[in-house]
Amino acid sequence: MTTAGLTLTAVLLGLAVAGASAPAGQSAGATAGPASAPKPSRATAGQAIKPTAKPTSIPRLADGRPDLQGNWTNATITMLERRPNTPLVITEVAARLDETNTEAAMVAREAPSSPDRGAPPVGGEIRKSPNAEPTYLELLWRAGGGAVGGYNTFWIDPGDRVLRIDGQPRSSIIIDPPSGRIPGYTEEARGRMAKAAEIRKTQGSEFDHPELRPLAERCITSFGNNAGPPMLPNYFYNNSYSIVQSKDTVVIVTEMVHDARVVRIGGTHPPPGLRKWFGDSIGRWEADTLVIETTNFHPNHGFRGSWEHLKVTERLTRKDANTILYRFTVEDPTTFTAPFTGELVFNAMAPGEMVYEYACHEANYGLEGVMSGARAQEREAAKKKSPQ
């Protein structure tokens, strides 16, 4: 695949994470084909969140630590932020309806097109949904491709399941604040962002030269927040990870743009002047949970405009042979009015299923196309201005 999904970064930083009017999302599930339906839970809307799974034996390394190694996916159709007036735990009926509607949308998108169809209208047309209301994923794909359209469904692998934790279907990844929404920006952050926007105006158009295109399109980092931290699904494809673990180090390799995070066990963070794309990550074990604290983020790759004072604390707990519970807390008092916490599940990929290298630069004709298109528009504009 390429990084030619030109608008996906903006979509994921805006509409994809807002979810204000979209249907409750979908789940951390298998990345290929429909997964078998889980046993019905006793969860109902408004119930308190109570662990229901019984403790089970988990794989361990020779030193007794939980073995987090393997290939994992956090693909889900459950949105990051919750719709207003929606409980965190939804009914199993609501979750299954979400999954059914998502499957219907995928089937409709994969249906053969008629060779006798007429030409589309000038400017394209919005793809119709087979459901009464478009699903969350349909709204994301629509925003990403617009009326012209984006990737066809052959390239889309977002997952097909509602996120379930301890058997309870969730309506959002964010669990705190209780609203399931990321807190607002501080006055300082709003001023900082406004100033940055003014500076960008003096740099020229984002189509003027490659350095102003998004990092993902330049094959530097993944779009959205796959590599994190926090590590979040992107709702399009490549939501897979490989974890390699030793006594002193844990390495998390992200499928999207083959990003790699190296987590040192123990130690201290470097001085503030030393910044890394994904921050500086230090891990420690609290019983059977790996706790990772990350600071020292790069100015161009933090989270939602936060980087200088950003701290992300992640907790990875292996629940059983096929599941890692992942919880994260984001803190930056100079950017957000309060900390916030989310949790999701990393599911083991099927035996033999591999995480392949994301050949980004090798096939990145999209970036060249963007630049070429902008130059063509400029030539046409110049022709209209020149005297006949």
| pTM, two decimal places | 0.81
Give percent helix, percent strand, percent coil of the chain, each to the nearest 5: 25, 20, 55
Number of domains in the chain: 1
* Peptide bond preceding 55 in cis form (omega within 30 of 0): no
Domain assignment present for residue 123? The answer is: no
Q: What is the full per-residue pLDDT of the chain (388 aa) written as tens digits?
A: 433 333 334 334 343 333 333 333 333 333 333 333 333 332 333 334 444 444 458 999 999 999 999 999 999 999 999 999 999 999 999 999 999 999 999 998 888 888 998 888 888 888 889 999 999 998 988 887 788 877 777 888 889 999 999 999 999 999 999 999 999 999 999 999 999 888 878 877 778 888 888 888 888 888 778 998 999 999 988 999 999 999 999 999 999 888 899 999 999 999 999 999 999 999 999 999 999 999 999 998 899 999 999 999 999 999 999 999 999 999 999 999 999 999 999 999 998 888 888 888 887 888 888 889 889 988 998 988 877 6
Question: Which uninterrupted H or E stretch holds 378?
Answer: helix 365-385
Residue 283 tokens, joined: 């891990």
Within-domain flag for 46: no
Write b or e for each residue in 54-91: b if 16 or more Cβ atoms lie within 10 A of its Cβ, otherwise e. Answer: eeeebeeeeeebbebbbbbbbbbbbbbbbbeeebbbbb
Q: Which residues pair with 344 in a beta bridge?
A: 326
Contact indicator for 28, 160 with CB cutoff of 8 Å: no
Asked whether residue 118 is domain-assigned, the answer is no
- Does residue 1 fall inside a structural domain? no
Closest listed residue to residue 85, CA positions, set 171, 201, 156: 171
Going by C-alpha positions, the residue among 343, 347, 355, 328 that lies closest to residue 38 is 347
Q: Which residues are CB-neighbours of 146 under 8 A, at least 6 positions away?
A: 7, 124
The range of the structural domain enclosing residue 356 comes to 8-34+59-109+132-363
Q: Is residue 387 part of a domain?
A: no
CA angle 6–163–312, rounded 5-degree value: 65
Q: How many other C-beta atoms lie within 10 A of the C-beta of residue 233? A: 29
